[in-house]
Amino acid sequence: MHPLDVHFRQRLSRSEPIAEPRHDQLSGAPLDLWALFKAQATSRQLDFAARTLQQQGRGFYTIGSAGHESNAMIALATRPTDPALLHYRSGGFYVARAGQLGGTTPVRDILQGLLALADEPIAGGRHKVFGHPRLAIIPQTSTVASHLPRAVGLAVALNRAHRLGVECEWPSDAVVICTFGDASANHSTAAGAINTAIHTAYQALPVPILFVCEDNGLGISVPTPPGWIESAYGSRPGLRYLRADGADPLKAWPVITEAVDFVRGCRRPAFLHLDTVRFGGHAGSDAEISYRRPRDIEADYGRDPLLATANQLRAAGVSAAEVLASYDQIGAEVEAEAGRLQDQPRLRSAVEVMAPLAPRRPERVAKSAETLGADSSGAHRTLAESINATLGNILAADRRVLVFGEDVGVKGGVYGVTRGLARTFGAARVFDTLLDEQSILGLGLGAGLAGLIPIPEIQYLAYLHNAEDQLRGEAATLSFFSTGRFSNPMVVRIAGLAYQKGFGGHFHNDNALGVLRDIPGVVVACPARADDAAGMLRTCVAAASIDSSIAVFLEPIALYHRRDLHSGGDGGWLATDRGGSVAIGSARLYRAGADSSPSAEALPTSERSASSAGLTMVTFGNGVLMSLRVAHRLDQAGIAVDVLDLRWLAPLPVDDLLAAARATGRVLVVDETRRTGGVGEGVITALVEGGFTGQIVRVASRDSFVPLGPAADHVLLGEDEIEKAALHLYATETP
Ligand SMILES: Cc1ncc(C[n+]2csc(CCOP(=O)(O)OP(=O)(O)O)c2C)c(N)n1
């Protein structure tokens, strides 16, 4: 028997009924002590079961909620339609909320999670999380504090969605609940998100969020300095701070309900500091005796929230035997349920595991893209103008779409790409955010959950990195860890890549994409020309709408305002919007001779016949421009070259790539990203794995950061190098 179990039984049988105060003497909404006790006891018994299951070699997770079960009161004080993003010790909350609805099976749910069973209702055996669509509990990752930007984003987006008349899963008076630990409160992600909530509320915008810090005084083995949480968050203007002791339910309850009522009524953020204890160490194998004094561990037993509720039941006239009978009955039910789950299946194949990753319905996406408008003026546009016009058409066509980021509003973006949109569509739909990339993506995460289609902008690729987990760990995983029951569609526009003349240095010319290409399910689009940009952007937005896709739309800055292709005034880099969409994973082929001329239109890549060209350049982004220019020169020298613009860097257009490669038998990979970890590595792997037996040569940028001024040319791939490599490759025999 677990020592905590022993302690509870002994203390309960020894305790005298408490004389005062009694719960029925409280003012305000009454606390249902039995509901609280049952939720807490269920959570406690599940923690015991988790350990037993692991000892039996059946279970996989033992991080528990024991000592934190007072969080069940937060569920009882809120509604099952209030979206909740929970700490991993919020088991009491989960059970209590399930108890508010009929037909729920919290014991089964949690056991299925512990056992990694395929029928588990949220992650389907992919992770042990607290989540359920019916309970409005959105599952979280194990990265502490990473859910706070999403929670704040959801609180902000809730009102925006209702104001815009967008169908939203959560009611207009909902409160977002976000629980986390005391050590997690120090994470810069938490600090940033709380700051964003206050910053937003400061501007009189609604931010109905209740932050709940479940303070057990420890982060694994490291004590939180006594008084720190109150010192850090107790007197922040714009953040209502309330403190409740989880070991004193009668006193905690009115504080909790006051916090909830405040957020619901005032639509402003509040910080509820809930004092808890942690029983049984951090998780599974953690022996806290190695870093805590025995008397401190012992002292926590006196602050057991379950015992505290039991004592209040006693004060209300319930006998110790009755309380114990309920506790034992719950234990027996947990044990019986665990027995029933004995032979339940786990995920059986990679296909099953990956099913919720990135569902794609290209026909429906193409149809939806048709509804997003197009520029029928026939105007020849630059890349920047085309993106601007396309965003305008999309905003006009779909009221769910929001465009936001640093300087995207009145200024219209650093490069003018969003110019005029705020004026046309208003600040509710096109707006400046505060300067925090985690919060920008967090708003995207919340807005997607609220039924909107967010198009956040990251001002420069290099500045994605300090917020990257919001894309990688949060956005990309939600559908995976909720079996598609929750999703956060979005199109993240990022200005990036190098070759800006006379500006920038590394951070404005970042040419590394490795960090984006390996995120399962995330689409990476990189348009080089105005016509592609229009179709690809519509595709990404349509995919977000239809398949809840997450796309990164990488815009080559150096091509934004480019007009000419070969010579000054030729206008060869301008293009008109051809309407429609560009299927994800489809490349664009510029056939030798015909297409390297300024006015040429692209041929469909479906044209897979042998080419008259001597080689195929495979490229993307700035590489398309450079390759077409080199191809033009080679053409004049009698060497015909096909140029394949990959357009989609994840997933790569492998079929088109192989077809274009086979057509000439010689491939020159023209990769402006770094030699190590660059896009070219993926291209060559796809060629080799696809059975291509011809010649392959790669030119790429150096494994360096990009220096300021003309020194950049020493490390960035240039046309001379491409031309030299092409000539060399052309001279080699094909096998
Ligand atoms: C970003 C991140 N860093 C480190 C960890 C490893 N880790 C897991 S829990 C934890 C301590 C969290 O403490 P606290 O927030 O107080 O929650 P508690 O476990 O005490 O309830 C740490 C460091 C993590 N999960 N995420």
Q: Which of 141, 142, 144 to mutate to test the pocket of ligand 1 (most atoms within 8 A of CB)?
A: 144
505 pLDDT more than 90: no
Determine whether the shortest distance from the Cβ of 188 to ligand 1 is under 6 A: no
C-beta of 147 in contact with ligand 1 (< 6 A) = no
Q: Are strands 222-223 and 240-245 parallel, antiparallel or unpaired?
A: unpaired
Confidence at 611, pLDDT banded by 50, 70, 90: confident
How far is it, in rounded angstroms, from Cα 176 to Cα 81? Answer: 9
Tell me: pLDDT of 26 over 60.
no
Active site residues per annotation: 508
Compute the average pLDDT of residues 389-397. Answer: 98
**In the predicted structure, residue 601 carries a pLDDT above the cut 90:** no
Per-residue pLDDT of 669-683, as tens digits, reads 999 999 999 999 999
pTM above 0.85, yes or no: yes
Q: Which atom of ligand 1 is found nearest the CA of 63?
A: 19
Regarding the beta carbon of 219 and ligand 1, being less than 6 Å apart is answered: yes
pLDDT beyond 60 at 23: no
Ligand 1 pocket check: which of 70, 220, 300 to mutate, most ligand atoms within 8 Å of Cβ? 220
Share of the chain above pLDDT 90, in %: 90
Rounded Cα distance between 210 and 176, Å, is: 6
Residues 118-164: tens digit of each pLDDT:
999 999 999 999 999 999 999 999 999 999 999 999 999 999 999 99
Q: What is the rounded average pLDDT of the residues 624-640?
A: 95
Q: What is the residue with the minimal CA distance to atom 25 of ligand 1?
A: 143
Nearest to 494 by CA among 545, 550, 535: 550
* Pocket flag, ligand 1, residue 592 (CB < 6 Å): no
Output phi, psi for 365, to 5 deg.
Answer: -65, -45
What atom in ligand 1 is closest to the CA of residue 182?
16
pLDDT tens-digit map of 318-363: 999 999 999 999 999 999 999 999 999 999 999 999 999 988 999 9
CB of 277 within 6 A of ligand 1: the answer is no
Ligand 1 close to Cβ of residue 71 (< 6 A): no
CA distance 67 to 216: 8
Contact of 400 with 376, CB cutoff 8 Å:
no
Nearby residues of 203 by Cβ (< 8 Å), 6 or more positions away:
none
139 CA from centroid of ligand 1 (Å): 16
Q: What is the 183 CA–ligand 1 centroid distance (Å)?
A: 7
Q: What is the rounded distance in angstroms from the CA atom of residue 645 to the CA atom of residue 620?
A: 5
First-to-final CA distance of the chain: 72
Q: How far apart are CA 715 and CA 263, in angstroms?
A: 54
pLDDT for res 613: 87
Can you tell me the distance from the alpha carbon of 285 to that of 277, in angstroms, rounded to the nearest whole number?
18
The CB of 474 under 6 Å from ligand 1? The reply is no
pLDDT of residue 597: 45
Tokens of 591: 């056939």
- Give nearest CA residue, ligand 1 atom 21: 181
Pairing of strands 648-650, 523-525: antiparallel
Comparing 340 with 16, the larger pLDDT belongs to 340
Give residue 182 CA to ligand 1 midpoint distance, Å.
9
Q: With 0-12 CB in 10 A as exposed, 13-18 as middle and 19+ as buried, what is 135?
A: buried
Token representation of residue 662: 């086979």
For residue 12, pLDDT over 80 is answered with: yes
